[in-house]
Amino acid sequence: MSKSAPETPQPSSSSGRVAIVASRYNSTYTDALVQSSSETLAKLAPDLEVDVIRVPGAFEIPVIVEAVACSTNAPLAIIALGVIIRGSTAHADLIAESITKTLQSTSVSHLIPVIHEVLLVDTTEQAEVRALGDELNRGREAAEAAVAMISVMEEISD
């Protein structure tokens, strides 16, 4: 596990919309990820409008990400948030692999950054560190990545 994240991007004056698509499942962790992402976006890019869309579980995230990417008011970036905790079967791995492939496909086909923080963890302790902690908070990191990617996309479109 990496304990170092990229540097925090510079504050942005970009205006537009960012969508956060988050699972309701494992709500203790996903609610914290949404809160961290939203707070970080407000600090780094206060002119961005943030829409939060909740879905039942992690498996439902990709279809809504695709729908948001296809909308007439497509966002500058989409953040996908969820927590999958492994059990004793391969189900979690299958779900996580499917989500990863689909999110990447949506991002590339629509040229919209999709920030993938649908976490696959082995234990609730790992989920706590990544969703509730300060050092490795993946919600914060997702928002920072979104702001950085919005800047990159603006640079290459000029």
Q: Residue 58: phi, psi to the nearest 5?
A: -65, -35
Flag residues of the chain having pLDDT under 50: none
| Residue 158: per-residue pLDDT | 66
Give the model confidence (pLDDT) of 3-37 as tens digits: 555 666 665 666 789 999 999 999 999 999 999 99
What is the reported pTM? 0.91
Task: Write out the E strands in 3-156.
Answer: 16-23, 48-55, 77-85, 114-121
Using alpha carbons, select from 87, 95, 106, 84 the residue that is nearest to residue 33: 84
Q: Which CATH number fits domain 16-157: 3.40.50.1820, 3.40.640.10, 3.40.50.960, 3.40.50.300?
A: 3.40.50.960
Beta 48-55 vs 77-85: how paired, if at all? unpaired
* Active-site residue (options: 56, 91, 94, 122): 91
Q: What is the DSSP letter of 138?
A: H
| Residue 3: per-residue pLDDT | 58
Q: Is 110 a catalytic residue?
A: no
